[in-house]
Amino acid sequence: MATYTPPLRDMQFVMHELLNVTDELKMLPRHADIDADTLNAVLEEGGKFAAEVLAPLNLSGDMEGCTLDKATHEVRTPLGFKDAYAQYVQGGWPALSGDPAYGGQGLPLVVNQCFYEMMNSANQAWTMYPGLSHGAYECLHAHGTEAQKATYLPKLTSGEWTGTMCLTEPHCGTDLGMLRTKAEPVAGAPEGTYKLTGQKIFISAGEHDLAANIIHLVLARLPDAPVGSKGISLFVVPKFLVNADGSVGERNPIFCSALEHKMGIHGNATCQMMLDGATGTLVGQPHKGLAAMFVMMNAARLGVGNQSLGLTEMAYQKAVVYAKDRIQMRSLSGPKSPEKAADPIIVHPDVRKMLLTARAYAEGGRALAIYTALLIDKELSTDDEDERKEAADLVALLTPIIKAFFTDNGWLATSHCLQVFGGHGYIREWGMEQLVRDARINMIYEGTNTIQSLDLLGRKVLGDNGAKLKKFGRLVQTFVEDEGTNEDMQEFINPLADLGDKITKLTTELGMKAFQNPDEVGGAAVDYLRVAGHLVFAYFWARMAKIALEKKDSGDPFYTAKLHTARFYFAKLLPETAGLIRTARSGVAPLLAMDEALF
């Protein structure tokens, strides 16, 4: 049965050959002393933690799940999870990219991105516990008071405490303007102190036994709040109140009342949370909580994309090992292993198609994920305002693509890799059906993929008349012009340039339609995001193909495999965009013409 092998060689290729991250980072004052050896050494150790500590707990954690003691409201995580978290904290992993002012190591987010990909491959359910803490940290770092930062950030940075985001309520998911949780000011208490009452559901890692305290970021309404999303405030509500000396104090009445019985990620506690007069302090300005929470939500959306990237890689690794070992039938062109009773199934074209689909989506996704992490490093660290704005705009454009395109691809790739196993893929002991179940949630939470598509087309593209899209388009155009006369690159450059032209025309057409009927955005958005995702992947695959072509005679099989995978992507996956463009152009009429009564 396959074990997990951290894809360090491909990560190093993306960082050092494709993106030249050390040169880019050295231009930022915060990372002027960074070097490739440090990045590689940290990730090598991180890979060992993922492969040796987390991966062995994935199947057992899924089978055991979490247990709620209804009398005490305490949740016990699967066997081994708590010890793994203790090793994670002891190794200093929570502090990798944290601010040194609060105990962080100050390493670039590029490192954290790669480390979390490996942990997600090894054990997504476990990784969600510390993963949510990063969003809570970023939110408080950006919007917390000095007192809140001093109280919570050092503990979140060290991993002694973990964090959550409490948004969803039984009657509202994405439409947070409908939420009902109340926050009442406390007479005689320090300014900004409130008592919160209400119910939240689907709270990942809302209760567990891994850390000494859990810091909940909760959306609620003040008594004078206007209706809708403009009346939402944000509060930090710890599981245990914090004493003046920073130690854990008395229990705060925010409790897990039930665990959700889920299709996947059984090792992560998805909680229904009750707030019964829980003490919380206001984060940011009254009624401006949604804007503050978006710091955490955007971090979570990138994190969810990374989860599916990790699952795609793990599914591919398992399926390749199986396909090389499993013998079944003969090759249509004649026996390839005549000494055996049948040929390994990897000789069959469609098996290879499924494997290469997963590989192409994993390697393309890795390039985009690391590129986006580098953009965030620039946004947070540069002294150049123009560079900061450029990076922020590209991150805003790419965030819904990473969340939705990666998770759609992850669902497709894990399903394909399960198919490689045939009937054995449907059996628990091989671990494939777990990957499929775990992958399915990623398309739903942190804003469904339809919401991401509406955000991309409606807000990020049409909302600024295509300004952000044009910024990425200029990257594509520059590369096309630079390589336009390179005969060896035509198989990659021509389809990339063609898709760039087509998405420009499609965007203009949809903008005109939306001006007449806003529902046209809803009818085209999902197809549009997938086309945009392919444009981004095609750009990175073309760049990777250029490097592989230059080094194809080096004797290193890595470049040979990279070139083959690039050719597969352009020949077999990118053509999907033709049908997507056609359906996006078909308009909203086929969706809305039928009367509701006929459904």
pLDDT tens per residue across span 364-382: 999 999 999 999 999 999 9
User: 118 and 35 in one domain?
Assistant: yes
CA contacts within 13 A on the Cβ side of 262:
31
pLDDT at 213 over 80: yes
Distances (CA, A) of 184 to 148, 198, 220: 19, 12, 10
Mean pLDDT of 334-349: 97
Burial 252-267 (b: 16+ CB within 10 A, else e): bbbbbbebeebebbbb
Environment class of 557 (CB within 10 Å of its CB; exposed 0-12, middle 13-18, buried 19+)? exposed
Burial 284-295 (b: 16+ CB within 10 A, else e): beebbbbebbeb
Among 258, 289, 320, the domain-final residue is: 289
pLDDT at 111 over 90: yes
In whole angstroms, give the CA distance from residue 308 to residue 345: 26
Which of 216-225, 285-294, 465-474 comes out lowest in average pLDDT?
A: 285-294
Total domains present in the chain: 3
Q: CATH number, domain at 117?
A: 1.10.540.10
Mean pLDDT of 529-539: 98
Q: What is the mean pLDDT of the chain?
A: 96
Residues recorded for the chain = 599
Domain assignment present for 306: no
pLDDT at 140 over 70: yes
Read off the amino acid at residue 157: T
Q: What is the pTM of this model?
A: 0.97
pLDDT at 2 over 70: no
User: 553 and 470 in one domain?
Assistant: yes
User: 216 and 137 in one domain?
Assistant: no
Domain assignment present for 357: no
* 467 or 446, higher pLDDT: 467
Nearest to 376 by CA among 7, 30, 8: 30
Q: What is the pLDDT of residue 23?
A: 97
User: 179 and 133 in one domain?
Assistant: no
User: 113 and 15 in one domain?
Assistant: yes
Domain assignment present for 376: no
In whole angstroms, give the CA distance from residue 447 to residue 468: 21
How far is C-alpha 140 from the geometric centre of its chain's CA atoms? 20
How far is C-alpha 427 from the geometric centre of its chain's CA atoms? 27
In whole angstroms, give the CA distance from residue 320 to residue 344: 11
User: 123 and 50 in one domain?
Assistant: yes
Domain assignment present for 215: yes
In order, the DSSP letters of 275-315 are EEEEEEEEESSTTBHHHHHHHHHHHHHHHHHHHHHHHHHHH
> Range of 37's domain?
8-66+77-143
Nearest to 375 by CA among 19, 11, 8: 19
pLDDT tens per residue across span 379-402: 999 999 999 999 999 999 999 999
Among 143, 174, 199, the domain-final residue is: 143
In whole angstroms, give the CA distance from residue 240 to residue 223: 25
8-state DSSP, 69: E
User: 58 and 85 in one domain?
Assistant: yes
In whole angstroms, give the CA distance from residue 202 to residue 295: 19
pLDDT tens per residue across span 226-261: 998 899 999 999 999 999 999 999 999 999 999 999
Which of 135-139, 172-176, 464-468 comes out lowest in average pLDDT?
A: 172-176
Q: Report the percentage of the chain scoring pLDDT > 90.
A: 94
User: 217 and 114 in one domain?
Assistant: no
In whole angstroms, give the CA distance from residue 130 to residue 435: 20
pLDDT tens per residue across span 21-30: 999 999 999 9
Q: CATH number, domain at 227?
A: 2.40.110.20
Nearest to 269 by CA among 261, 278, 277, 281: 261
pLDDT at 315 over 70: yes
> Interior CA angle at 581 toward 578 and 583, to 5°?
110
Domain assignment present for 413: no
Two tokens at 573? 């996956």
Catalytic residues: 446
φ, ψ (nearest 5 deg) of residue 65: 70, -170
pLDDT band at 174 (very low <50, low <70, confident <90, very high): confident
Distances (CA, A) of 247 to 161, 214, 217: 11, 13, 19
How far is C-alpha 343 from the geometric centre of its chain's CA atoms? 38
Q: Report the percentage of the chain scoring pLDDT > 70.
A: 100
User: 476 and 589 in one domain?
Assistant: yes
Nearest to 302 by CA among 132, 140, 434: 132
Domain assignment present for 184: yes
Distances (CA, A) of 323 to 127, 344, 416: 28, 6, 12
In whole angstroms, give the CA distance from residue 59 to residue 428: 8
Domain assignment present for 374: no
User: 203 and 105 in one domain?
Assistant: no
Phi-psi region of 409 (alpha: psi -120 to 50; beta: other; left: phi over 0): alpha
- Decide if 185 contacts 193 (C-beta within 8 A): yes
User: 100 and 226 in one domain?
Assistant: no
Read off the amino acid at residue 356: L
Strand, helix or coil at 571? helix
Mean pLDDT of 593-598: 96
Sequence-ordered alpha helix ranges (H) in 421-489: 432-442, 449-454, 467-483
pLDDT band at 307 (very low <50, low <70, confident <90, very high): very high
Domain assignment present for 505: yes
pLDDT band at 352 (very low <50, low <70, confident <90, very high): very high
Read off the amino acid at residue 591: L
SS3 assignment for 484-497? CCCHHHHHHHHHHH
pLDDT tens per residue across span 556-585: 999 999 999 999 999 999 999 999 999 999
pLDDT band at 1 (very low <50, low <70, confident <90, very high): low
How far is C-alpha 454 from the geometric centre of its chain's CA atoms? 18
Two tokens at 593? 């013409």
User: 28 and 96 in one domain?
Assistant: yes
pLDDT at 264 over 90: yes
Q: What is the pLDDT of residue 17?
A: 98
Q: What is the pLDDT of residue 420?
A: 98
Mean pLDDT of 525-539: 98
